[in-house]
């Protein structure tokens, strides 16, 4: 097992001047980082406690898809790898041991240990975008959807059905749109009231009506986390009021009559540990999401105006949060899941070391496509441009990946295996292109990879790849677009699709070149398209 001493472990300390908060305290114990190469490499959006001390983790593992895992103290099991690719977001194990999984694209999945059942809008669900799932003390399941709250009673006589709550109150701030219906979180307090955080106003539901939560006459907006501690104090994170051209955000507590701002720090998740400490994950400054942290507010100082704050770890994004049965704090970031026992942070995925992925030559392919300069006609009917498509076998190769980022790689192809899908005559015309006896292997070496994204999360896997292509003993620099994604959250298989367009004459392949058209009269285009489908495994 590998240990890495962190001499300045993510120590980003902030003065919260607007709330008078003291500077973050440095933990007295030397924090070590313990790395285990066994865990899911996914965006751990939500972490929940399962039965028998198990831990459930849900989140997307790339721009489009996600997974849900169960950790039993020794190993991780993917619970959703058999129900297709979806953007899984939250998870719950109910009082009967059933697993509920929410998605942003396909409603809800219910797993009874043997079979999955799928619920969507056709079954009465308010919307197929579902961000949260919660079970109240009566066993009622509540879902926060993109079009309101859905209530599901598994014990309802005469069948099981959904009851939906939409447009609970007229918006106090966002007068247009449907922000109040986009639900972030739902919890039940000790009195049986539901607290609801939305992208618009936050509400309390007493079983009959919804009441908008306000502080100093202003509603709480975009509340992402709500928690009730053992004393009955409500903790929530959101935006309230308007000052200096911005809406101040942060962490608030409610004692039953008054809201008090505890910290400028926002929170994606809030929990109370067994000692009464309050833990949060989220941005250090809500106005700037670039720096986020795992933070602890010490129990003995919670009633003061300036509770003692300790920042345990900081980085670009922190999400799910849970105290395990052994007292360790589990938290997730954009690339994995961690636990903290007071002295050591355990990283369940090795992100500090570069990983080699061997190319699976049977599942991978390189396809070429070439065309003639002139097309063929019969009257006004176009017969085609003589396009030929074929493939070559990959001999071997590997990709070097660090923290889910492609760094470099090499692909070797067997030029003796040139095949054509059209006919043998076309194949014979292609053979003069290459001296396969003298140069039986062509090689693509990846030297540099850049993200090629417009900021849209759907395009996070877009890459700009730069490298060297060697054909016929000649090496030239090339740049081409590619798309990469991991096929499962355990990060065991990666897929890269790319398209490279080359001018074959740069590699001395001049046969019937379009540049020689006046002489040949039947030229072949110099540009050849190479389409690559690479599957590599760790």
Tell me the pLDDT tens digit for each residue of 66-82. Answer: 789 999 988 888 888 88
- 449 neighbors 464 (Cβ within 8 angstroms): yes
Tell me if 406 is assigned to some domain.
Answer: yes
Q: What is the CATH number of the domain that holds 516?
A: 2.40.128.110
* DSSP letter string, 467-516: EEEEETTEEEEEEEEEEEEESSTT--EEEEEEEEEEEGGGGT--TTBGGG
- 39 neighbors 32 (Cβ within 8 angstroms): no
HEC secondary structure over 424-449: HHHHHHHHHHCCCCCCCEEEEEEEEE
Question: Does residue 135 surpass a pLDDT of 60?
Answer: yes
State residue 147's pLDDT score. Answer: 92
Tell me if 391 is assigned to some domain.
Answer: yes
Tell me if 442 is assigned to some domain.
Answer: yes
Question: Does residue 306 surpass a pLDDT of 60?
Answer: yes
Tell me if 165 is assigned to some domain.
Answer: no
H/E stretch holding 35 reads strand 32-35
Q: The domain containing residue 533 runs over which residues?
A: 355-537
Q: Is the dihedral of CA 413, 418, 420, 426 positive or negative?
A: positive
Number of domains in the chain: 1
Tell me if 86 is assigned to some domain.
Answer: no
State residue 25's pLDDT score. Answer: 44
Tell me if 451 is assigned to some domain.
Answer: yes
State residue 458's pLDDT score. Answer: 53
State residue 246's pLDDT score. Answer: 62
Tell me if 450 is assigned to some domain.
Answer: yes
Tell me if 328 is assigned to some domain.
Answer: no
The per-residue pLDDT for range 308-365, each reduced to its tens digit, is 999 999 887 899 999 999 999 999 987 789 999 998 998 887 555 557 889 999 999 9
28-32, 134-138, 177-181, range with the lowest pLDDT: 28-32
| Residue 105 neighbours by CB distance under 10 Å | 15
Q: What gap in Å lies between CA 239 and CA 236, rounded to an integer?
A: 10
State residue 385's pLDDT score. Answer: 81
């Amino acid at each position: 097992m590998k240990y890495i001493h962190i001499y300045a472990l993510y120590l980003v300390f902030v003065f919260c001047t607007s709330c008078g908060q003291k500077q973050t305290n440095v933990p007295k114990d030397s924090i070590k980082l313990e790395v285990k190469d066994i865990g899911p490499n996914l965006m751990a959006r939500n972490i929940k406690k399962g039965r028998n001390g198990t831990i459930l983790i849900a989140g997307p593992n790339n721009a489009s898809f996600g997974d849900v895992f169960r950790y039993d103290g020794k190993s991780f099991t993917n619970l959703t790898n058999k129900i297709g690719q979806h953007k899984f977001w939250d998870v719950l194990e109910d009082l009967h041991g059933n697993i509920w999984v929410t998605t942003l694209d396909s409603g809800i999945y219910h797993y009874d240990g043997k079979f999955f059942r799928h619920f969507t809008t056709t079954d009465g669900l308010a919307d197929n975008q579902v961000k949260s799932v919660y079970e109240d003390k009566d066993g009622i399941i509540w879902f926060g959807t993109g079009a309101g709250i859905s209530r599901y009673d598994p014990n309802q006589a005469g069948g099981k059905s959904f009851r939906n709550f939409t447009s609970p109150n007229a918006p106090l701030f966002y007068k247009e749109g449907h922000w109040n219906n986009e639900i972030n979180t739902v919890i039940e307090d000790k009195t049986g009231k539901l607290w609801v955080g939305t992208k618009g106003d936050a509400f309390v539901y007493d079983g009959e009506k919804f009441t908008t939560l306000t502080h100093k006459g202003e509603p709480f907006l975009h509340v992402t986390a709500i928690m009730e501690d053992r004393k009955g104090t409500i903790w929530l994170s959101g935006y309230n009021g308007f000052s200096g051209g911005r809406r101040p955000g942060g962490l608030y507590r409610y004692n039953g009559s008054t809201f008090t701002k505890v910290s400028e720090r926002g929170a994606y998740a809030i929990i109370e540990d067994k000692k009464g400490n309050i833990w949060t994950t989220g941005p250090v400054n809500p106005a700037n999401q670039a720096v986020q942290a795992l933070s602890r507010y010490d129990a003995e100082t919670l009633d003061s105006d300036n509770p003692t704050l300790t920042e345990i770890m900081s980085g670009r994004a922190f999400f799910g949060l849970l105290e395990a049965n052994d007292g360790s704090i589990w938290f997730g970031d954009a690339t994995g899941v961690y636990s903290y026992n007071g002295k050591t942070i355990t990283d369940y995925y090795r992100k500090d070391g570069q990983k080699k992925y061997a190319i699976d030559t049977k599942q991978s392919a390189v396809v070429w496509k070439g065309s003639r300069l002139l097309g063929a006609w019969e009257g006004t009917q176009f017969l085609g441009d003589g396009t030929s498509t074929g493939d070559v076998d990959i001999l071997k190769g590997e990709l070097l990946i660090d923290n889910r980022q492609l760094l470099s790689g090499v692909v070797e192809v067997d030029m003796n295996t040139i095949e054509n899908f059209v006919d043998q005559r076309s194949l014979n015309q292609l053979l003069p292109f290459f001296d396969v006896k003298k140069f039986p292997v062509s090689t693509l070496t990846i030297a540099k990879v850049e993200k090629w994204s417009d900021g849209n999360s759907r395009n996070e896997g877009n890459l700009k790849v730069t490298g060297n292509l060697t054909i016929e003993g000649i090496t030239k620099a090339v740049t081409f677009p590619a798309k990469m994604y991991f096929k499962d959250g355990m990060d065991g298989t990666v897929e890269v699709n790319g398209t490279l367009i080359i001018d074959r004459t740069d590699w001395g392949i001049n046969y019937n070149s379009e540049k020689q058209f006046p002489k040949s009269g039947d030229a072949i285009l110099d540009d050849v398209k190479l389409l690559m489908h690479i599957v590599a495994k760790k």
